[in-house]
Amino acid sequence: MIEISHLSKMYGRGVYALRDLSIRVDKGEFVFLTGPSGAGKTTLLRILLCEETPTEGRVHIGGRDLARLSPGQVQAYRRTIGFVFQDFKLIQTKTVLQNVALLARAMGEVSIQQQRRTYQVLKWVGLQHRSNAFPMELSGGEQQRVAIARALVTEPSLVLADEPTGNLDPDLSLEIMNLFRDINASGTTVVVATHDRELIRRVDRRTMTLDHGRLAETS
Amino acid sequence: MHALAYCIREAVGSLWRQRGSAALSVLTIAVAMLVLGAFLLVTSNLDRLMSRWSSAAEFSVYLHDDIGQDQRIALNLMLADSPLVASREYVSKADALARFTRDFPDLAAGADALDENPLPASIEVRLRSGVASADSIEALAARVSAAPGVADVRFDRTWLERLGAIVRGTRWIGWALGAVLILAAVLTVSTIVRLSLHVRRDEVGIMQLMGAPMGLLRGPLVAEGVLHGGAGAILALALLYVGYVAARARFDPVLADIVDPALVAFLPWEFAVALVVGGMVVGCAGGMVAARFVRWAR
């Protein structure tokens, strides 16, 4: 699913965020990316989301070479993956339902199946009763569940999450992580970046540890 | 179609949220369109009056004293055959003198003192109103002027030509002033829409990360510009109409001494529609300038 070979990302003069990183994530896997702050977890996810371009190396996702995508193809590629951010990135002026279905509706996907899918994911994350609420009316855990619902509404084959529990307390974190486990159980590849060792221990999946931009350990 | 509906919905929402700054943008376009509309109103009315005056004009064909009977018949036939001529009247030398002494009684004694009547016989030609263009009248005058026995043709076009030059000049001034104001309006709209982009930057950023096509990111900004432009142009049109009605109420009695007030009218509907569409195009241009600040992901 994800093939990264000899990936390096350098900022400024000689400051490497990632250095000669080679990783492979198979289809249907659940992988944790961990490491201390500044290890390169977020940079790696930003490269996978095409927010950053590598200085060296190749990234293939689902057979696509990300370096070869045109700007328009980057947008199309992003629509095929789900991404969950630490700060949720919800549109504050839109309701929960609008946040989840916004892109699909704007692009004209208003089929019955699409609407059903929207309600299904909201129900799945337990927010069907809050569909008309605005993000600021929700708790942090609820907002993150909306973000997860938005990432899943397009039925992506890959879900990337950058510190999805960074702003949540331990109980809510586990709750959110269980959602990711359920997503993975349905066949979706999941990559979660987190520095929460306790959470990783409790979920017990393959873990790649980054340190100073290099792969330090795989367990 | 859904994308268009989305863009319009977002643009209306943004317009409402930023109504203070949007009002400034709408007013700038309204001023530009008002100036253009006012020039169009004045020049279209002058055009109409000129056309009427040109087509309703008369010209006088002065004859040589020694014009022969055949030549006069030929001349009459030429005028009778022309579709431009509504009627013609022969004014003999004696009739011309009688008119002169009637119109200028103070000079009548001087004319009587002459041995010979100095005034030529003439044919006064009245043209059909509405059917003749200035060019066709000029062509007829040239043909008549070249006919044997004709001393001169007086077709008082000089002042009409001067008026035409004034109208053309006024129109150019209007276009030039309008162009400057339109440029200012485009810049204002683009600045205001960029402000709106700044307010919505998080939303646009999120949409971009979710993979929204560029059209969906830039479209609402362009639609917002179009709405600014359309609203500004409609406001300008409304102000122009109010100004027109007020001016008519104030100046109609004065106007009646110079022209037929029925000839003075508000902008033709085609011009009004063009003004609104023009405003939307101006707004669209401003929106497109602002939309260029939404950049590709990489």
Task: Match 């109980």 to its residue by tokens.
Answer: A171
Say if residue B212's pLDDT is above 70: yes
Percentage of residues in chain B with pLDDT exceeding 90?
A: 12
**What's the pLDDT score for residue B130?**
59
Q: How far is A219 from chain B (nearest CA, A)?
A: 31
Cα B50 to Cα B37, B84, B129, B139, B260: the distances in Å are 20, 17, 12, 18, 12
Per-residue pLDDT tens over the stretch A20-58: 999 999 999 999 999 888 888 899 999 999 988 899 999
**What's the pLDDT score for residue B157?**
61
Task: Please answer yes or no on whether A74 and B298 come within 8 Å at the CB atom.
Answer: yes
Say if residue B173's pLDDT is above 80: yes
Q: Is the ipTM of this complex over 0.90?
A: no
Per-residue pLDDT tens over the stretch A74-92: 988 998 899 988 888 899 8
3-state secondary structure of B125: strand
Listing DSSP states for B165-187 in one string gives HHHHHHHHHHHHHHHHHHHHHHH
Task: From chain B, pick out residues whose CB is under 8 angstroms from the CB of A75.
Answer: 208, 211-214, 297
- Assess contact for A97 and A153: CB atoms under 8 A: no
Task: Please answer yes or no on whether A89 and B216 come within 8 Å at the CB atom.
Answer: no
**What's the pLDDT score for residue B297?**
60
Cα B212 to Cα A145, B192, B221: the distances in Å are 21, 23, 15
C-alpha span between B118 and B278 (Å, rounded):
60
Phi, psi of B116 (to 5 degrees): -125, 145
Q: How far is B234 from chain A (nearest CA, A)?
A: 29
**What's the pLDDT score for residue A11?**
87
The DSSP bridge partners found for residue A4 are A23, A59
**Length of chain A as a residue count:** 219
Task: Name the residue among A131, A183, A193 with its Cα closest to residue A157.
Answer: A183
Task: Match 């700038």 to its residue by tokens.
Answer: B28
- pLDDT-derived band at A214, boundaries 50, 70, 90: confident
Task: Please answer yes or no on whether B211 and A76 come within 8 Å at the CB atom.
Answer: yes
B199 touches chain A (CB under 8 A): no
3-state secondary structure of B254: helix
**What's the pLDDT score for residue B57?**
61
Cα B16 to Cα A11, B21, B22, B215, B228: the distances in Å are 42, 10, 8, 22, 11
Q: How far is A201 from chain B (nearest CA, A)?
A: 30
C-alpha span between B270 and A200 (Å, rounded):
71
Q: How far is B6 from chain A (nearest CA, A)?
A: 6
Q: How far is A199 from chain B (nearest CA, A)?
A: 27
B208 touches chain A (CB under 8 A): yes
- pLDDT-derived band at B129, boundaries 50, 70, 90: low
Of the listed ranges A64-68, A198-202, A205-209, the least confidently predicted one is: A198-202
A92 touches chain B (CB under 8 A): yes
Task: Match 């055959």 to its residue by tokens.
Answer: B81
Angle at B136 between CA B133 and CA B141, to 5 degrees: 125
Q: What is the DSSP letter of B261?
A: G
Task: Name the residue among A104, A108, A134 with its Cα closest to residue A119.
Answer: A104
Say if residue B115's pLDDT is above 80: no
- pLDDT-derived band at B100, boundaries 50, 70, 90: confident
Q: What count of Cα atoms within 13 Å lies in the side-chain half-sphere of residue A214? A: 3
Cα A155 to Cα A118, A182, A184, B119: the distances in Å are 10, 13, 12, 101
C-alpha span between A88 and A148 (Å, rounded):
9
Task: Please answer yes or no on whether A53 and B298 come within 8 Å at the CB atom.
Answer: yes
Per-residue pLDDT tens over the stretch B131-154: 566 677 778 888 888 989 898 888
Residue in chain B lying closest to A53 (CA): B298
A187 touches chain B (CB under 8 A): no
**What's the pLDDT score for residue B132?**
60
Q: Please count the other Cβ atoms lying within 10 Å of the Cβ belonging to residue A58.
A: 15
Q: How many CB pairs under 8 A join A and B?
A: 69
Tokens of A158: 């890959």
Q: pLDDT averaged over chain A? A: 86
Task: From chain B, pick out residues whose CB is under 8 angstroms from the CB of A76.
Answer: 211, 213
**What's the pLDDT score for residue B117?**
84
**What's the pLDDT score for residue B133?**
67
Query: Which position has the higher pLDDT, A125 or B296?
Result: A125
Tokens of A121: 């994911």
Residues 6+ apart with CB under 8 A from B176: none
Listing DSSP states for chain A in one string gives -EEEEEEEEEETTTEEEEEEEEEEE-TT-EEEEE-STTSSHHHHHHHHTTSS--SEEEEEETTEEGGG--HHHHHHHHTTEEEE-TT----TTS-HHHHHHHHHHHTT---HHHHHHHHHHHHHTT-GGGTTS-GGGS-HHHHHHHHHHHHHTT--SEEEEESTTTTS-HHHHHHHHHHHHHHHHTT-EEEEE---HHHHHHH--EEEEEETTEEEEE-
Q: How far is A95 from chain B (nearest CA, A)?
A: 13
Phi, psi of B151 (to 5 degrees): -85, -40
C-alpha span between A56 and A19 (Å, rounded):
9
Residues 6+ apart with CB under 8 A from B267: B37, B40, B41, B44, B237, B240, B275
C-alpha span between A83 and A180 (Å, rounded):
12
| Nearest CB partner across the interface for A78, out of B2, B209, B216 | B209
Task: Please answer yes or no on whether B3 and A107 come within 8 Å at the CB atom.
Answer: yes
B4 touches chain A (CB under 8 A): no
- Assess contact for B223 and B10: CB atoms under 8 A: yes
3-state secondary structure of B132: coil
B295 touches chain A (CB under 8 A): no
| Nearest CB partner across the interface for A78, out of B205, B210, B296 | B210
Per-residue pLDDT tens over the stretch B47-66: 887 777 766 567 789 999 88
Task: From chain B, pick out residues whose CB is under 8 angstroms from the CB of A80.
Answer: 211
C-alpha span between A82 and B210 (Å, rounded):
8
For the entire predicted model, the pTM comes to 0.69
Residue A113's Cα: distance from chain center in Å?
A: 24
**What's the pLDDT score for residue A31?**
92
C-alpha span between B97 and B100 (Å, rounded):
5
Q: pLDDT averaged over chain B? A: 84
Per-residue pLDDT tens over the stretch B9-40: 888 888 888 888 888 888 888 888 898 888 88
C-alpha span between A149 and A155 (Å, rounded):
10
Q: How far is B211 from chain A (nearest CA, A)?
A: 4
- Assess contact for B160 and B53: CB atoms under 8 A: yes
Task: Please answer yes or no on whether B297 and A74 come within 8 Å at the CB atom.
Answer: yes
Tell me the mean pLDDT in the region B264-274. Answer: 89
**What's the pLDDT score for residue B158?**
63
| Nearest CB partner across the interface for A78, out of B2, B202, B211 | B211
Say if residue B260's pLDDT is above 90: no
Per-residue pLDDT tens over the stretch A98-109: 898 887 777 766
Residue in chain A lying closest to B203 (CA): A91
**What's the pLDDT score for residue B280?**
92
**What's the pLDDT score for residue B240?**
94
Angle between helix B214-258 and helix B269-291 axes, rounded to 10 deg: 150
Query: Which position has the higher pLDDT, A173 or B238?
Result: B238
